[in-house]
Amino acid sequence: MKVKKVTALLLVVMLIMQGGLAVEKARSSAPKDLNVLVTPQWINTNEIRLDLRFAGGNAECTGRITGLTGTSGITATFLLERRNSNGAYSFVRSWSVSATGRHLTFFGTNPVSSGFTYRLSVIAEVTRNGFAETVSTSVEKYY
């Protein structure tokens, strides 16, 4: 009886070790420069797109939020921030926008200073079939 337990235990240990080796082999053979886009899975929201550009001393901020079929409304707050030398972000400007239906588009501009990284972020509430979902994302660019 004791031999069966020891044999079973050794078999389990060997299987675990072999599984670990297979995982490590898969990791080591994966390309190191593989760029994979990870997108969140939302319930009401199909897509959020943000873009931050600079022209003539101004930040040009654009956004588009698309809800799934049946979306009745979208409200969003867009926030422009500047990263300071200590790595902290400071408030520059915010805009509140709302739309009925499944599409919200936004465009805003604000004067900015060169030599800084800016972040445009959005937090939105997308309502579909009576259920409100909060979604958010951001982009950063150096000017």
Give the span between the Cα atoms of 103 and 65, in whole angstroms.
6
Q: What CATH number should be reported for the domain holding residue 78?
A: 2.60.40.10
Structurally, the chain folds into a number of domains equal to 1
Answer whether residue 61 is part of any domain. yes
Residue 59, φ and ψ in degrees, nearest 5: -90, 130
> Is residue 118 one of the residues assigned to a domain?
yes
Q: Please report, for residues 76, 82, 86, 101, the alpha-carbon distance to residue 64 in angstroms, rounded to integers and kept in the order given.
A: 10, 22, 31, 13
Tens-level pLDDT at each residue, the chain (143 residues):
565 555 555 555 555 555 544 444 444 554 555 555 555 678 899 999 999 999 999 999 999 999 999 999 999 999 999 999 999 999 999 999 999 999 999 999 999 999 999 999 999 999 999 999 999 999 999 99
Grouping H, G, I as helix, E, B as strand and the rest as coil, residue 40 is coil
Return all residues near 37 (Cβ < 8 A) that are at least 6 apart.
none
Helix, strand, or coil here: 29? helix
